[in-house]
Amino acid sequence: MSPNKKNFYVDERGAQEQHSDLDVRVDVAPKGRAFYITTTLPYVNAPLHMGHALELVRADIIARYKKLQNYDVFFNTGTDEHGKKNHEQAIEKGLKSQEFVDQGFLVFTEQLKMFGISDDVHFVRTTDKHHILSASEFWKLVKDNGYIYKKSYQAKYCIGCESEKTISELDEKGECILHPSRNLELIDEENYFFKFSEFGDKLLKFYKKNQNFIIPDFRLNEMKNFIKNGLQDFSISRLKTKMPWGIEVPDDKDHVMYVWFDALTNYISTLGWPDNLENFEKYWVNGNPTQYCGKDNTRFQGVMWQAMLMAANLPNSHQVVVNGFITGEGGARMSKTTGNVVDPRDIVKEYSVDALRFFLAKEISNFEDSPFTIERFKESYNSGLANGLGNLASRILTLSEKYLEKCPEIPKNTIPQEFFDFLEKFEIKQATDYIWDKIGELDKFIQNNEPFKVVKTDQEKGKELISKIVIDLYQITRMLNPIMPETNIMLKKLIKENKKPEKPLFLRKD
Ligand SMILES: [Zn+2]
């Protein structure tokens, strides 16, 4: 490592602990400095798909990376639980709406296990008592500041999408393109509106000051253009008689909040706002609040929510990071009819949680659309994991178990700055490629130096070579911490115990 690169002090706290790769970056993150990251909240009524996997795994990787740098991390996810669709499905199943979403929430937390999400993730539910209070307080603030008003409203509404449809979003029969069999609902009522139109200039000024506010920059440009075309006030309530399952509008029992003031406020209600201002101050005001989302959510997270925060006189988010979509081969939309859907459950069942995370980190573009097909997955799994990392680890540990009395002393060493630099920019693919470059280099070193032969003719020299490759393997393993946490722990344990794996770490699949 060149002398001008920063070194990281590694504090080993035992192989079983998640933080055993803790790198105290004293100059950058004094102990206790806060970082906040959140995913969007999926609807509670549908199983999680590969797009959710991508968003949750990516946010988890960044959360774990920040922990490696000694940040005190608040990682938020949860479920969006109100709305007509949940209400209707509850009725179909003969359940109360609350019972229905309670079940959905349990399923959600169960499903999260297949993504290997950090144990200390925080869950917010939009039916939580505190969230309801928080959303109401937020509404009142914005109303008191003069940004909420009532007017009559006509629209066509698709319950399948839980959103209103403009003519351009309907097919030639006047039906929703995504839900042609569902009847559109005609809305003709008085609604509350948010004065979104007043925030165009403020938002543009804000983006100018915060050039990296939306990552990648082409998404930021899209939003700038969207704003330049003129912002329309949007509807934020529904008549309770038509949508009974929602948060009541403060001081108006006839209305419930529609989506935005209910769902988007979760990002601060999860911190206990407005009661727990200490927590809010720590993580939202000073914790660089970072929001991961898919590209269909850019407008909600990066524009609408930011205008709402401005209207409430609260600090804006720090960054919004936008993923592309996961597609089938050739960029085709994943759909049951095409039969090109890859279910994360199947991947985890057949391979492993870490194999899924590996693919999402290494083979899916950081910000563009990317295909996830079984063929691609298998190829990458076999070359990167079975023949790559797995084979390398097994060769090295077989040698060390045979020729070394114990694990060589692991230096209090470093994770290279380059690796962290990629993660700092949310370039998870490059960070993962960096690890696999190191794996390739170590492979080549073994080929060129043949420690397995040397040790038979010159034992001392051979042992030295084997010690070196064990230490190198350990360094590589440290970098797996945010990306493949299970493998990180398992491999470090094997190296420390100087044991070869009893079975292949990643079984080759044909
Ligand atoms: Zn629809």
Ligand 1 centre and the CA of 182: distance in Å?
A: 8
Range name among 214-223, 403-412, 440-449 with the lowest pLDDT average: 403-412
Question: What does the pLDDT average to over 100-117?
Answer: 95
Ligand 1 centre and the CA of 157: distance in Å?
A: 8
Range name among 148-162, 221-235, 243-257 with the lowest pLDDT average: 148-162
Ligand 1 centre and the CA of 181: distance in Å?
A: 9
Cβ atoms of 465 and 449 within 8 Å: the answer is yes
**Domain hosting residue 473, numbered range:** 374-497
Ligand 1 centre and the CA of 184: distance in Å?
A: 8
User: Does 485 fall in a domain?
Assistant: yes
Number of domains present in the structure of the chain:
2
User: Does 386 fall in a domain?
Assistant: yes
What is the pLDDT confidence band of residue 182, given thresholds at 50, 70 and 90? confident
Question: What does the pLDDT average to over 432-450?
Answer: 98
Which of 239, 255, 273 represents a domain boundary (last residue)? 239
Query: In 244-373, which ranges are continuous DSSP H helix?
Result: 260-263, 266-269, 277-280, 298-299, 305-311, 344-350, 353-362
Range name among 24-33, 44-53, 175-184, 355-364 with the lowest pLDDT average: 24-33
What confidence score (pLDDT) does residue 17 get?
A: 38
Ligand 1 centre and the CA of 96: distance in Å?
A: 24
User: Rounded distance, CA 453 to CA 467, Å?
Assistant: 15
User: Does 359 fall in a domain?
Assistant: no
Query: Does the pLDDT value for residue 487 go beyond 50?
Result: yes
* Closest listed residue to residue 279, CA positions, set 122, 140, 62: 122
Cβ atoms of 434 and 419 within 8 Å: the answer is yes
User: Does 182 fall in a domain?
Assistant: yes
Average model confidence (pLDDT) for the chain?
A: 92
What confidence score (pLDDT) does residue 45 get?
A: 85
The label of the residue with tokens 């109303």 reads 143
Ligand 1 centre and the CA of 43: distance in Å?
A: 15
What confidence score (pLDDT) does residue 159 get?
A: 84
Ligand 1 centre and the CA of 407: distance in Å?
A: 59
Which of 201, 224, 239 represents a domain boundary (last residue)? 239
DSSP 83: S
- Tens of pLDDT, residues 380-407: 999 999 999 999 999 999 999 999 999 9
* Closest listed residue to residue 471, CA positions, set 416, 402, 400, 420: 400
Which of 239, 264, 290 represents a domain boundary (last residue)? 239
Ligand 1 centre and the CA of 173: distance in Å?
A: 14
Ligand 1 centre and the CA of 180: distance in Å?
A: 7
What confidence score (pLDDT) does residue 155 get?
A: 86
User: Does 176 fall in a domain?
Assistant: yes
User: Does 170 fall in a domain?
Assistant: yes
The label of the residue with tokens 């070394």 reads 404
- Tens of pLDDT, residues 32-88: 799 999 999 999 988 899 999 999 999 999 999 999 888 999 999 999 999 999 999
Ligand 1 centre and the CA of 457: distance in Å?
A: 72
Ligand 1 centre and the CA of 422: distance in Å?
A: 38
Ligand 1 centre and the CA of 158: distance in Å?
A: 5
Ligand 1 centre and the CA of 179: distance in Å?
A: 4
What confidence score (pLDDT) does residue 16 get?
A: 31
CATH code for position 478: 1.10.730.10
Which segments of 47-195 are extended strands (E)?
72-79, 122-125, 148-158, 163-165, 185-194
What confidence score (pLDDT) does residue 212 get?
A: 97
* pLDDT over 70, % of the chain: 94
What confidence score (pLDDT) does residue 458 get?
A: 97
User: Does 344 fall in a domain?
Assistant: no
Ligand 1 centre and the CA of 165: distance in Å?
A: 8
**Alpha carbon 25 to chain centroid, angstroms:** 24
User: Does 124 fall in a domain?
Assistant: no
Ligand 1 centre and the CA of 292: distance in Å?
A: 24
CATH code for position 209: 2.170.220.10
Q: Write the CB contacts of 295 (distance below 8 Å, at least 6 apart in sequence).
A: 219, 322, 323, 324, 325
What confidence score (pLDDT) does residue 21 get?
A: 61
Ligand 1 centre and the CA of 170: distance in Å?
A: 9
What confidence score (pLDDT) does residue 77 get?
A: 98
What is the pLDDT confidence band of residue 412, given thresholds at 50, 70 and 90? confident
Q: What is the pTM of this model?
A: 0.91
Ligand 1 centre and the CA of 265: distance in Å?
A: 24
Query: Does the pLDDT value for residue 439 go beyond 70?
Result: yes
Q: Which two tokens stand for residue 354?
A: 């870490």
- Tens of pLDDT, residues 4-31: 333 333 333 332 333 456 544 434 455 6
Ligand 1 centre and the CA of 159: distance in Å?
A: 6
Question: What does the pLDDT average to over 402-417?
Answer: 89
SS3 assignment, position 4:
coil
Q: Report CA-CA distances (Å) from 345 to 348, 351, 386.
A: 5, 10, 20
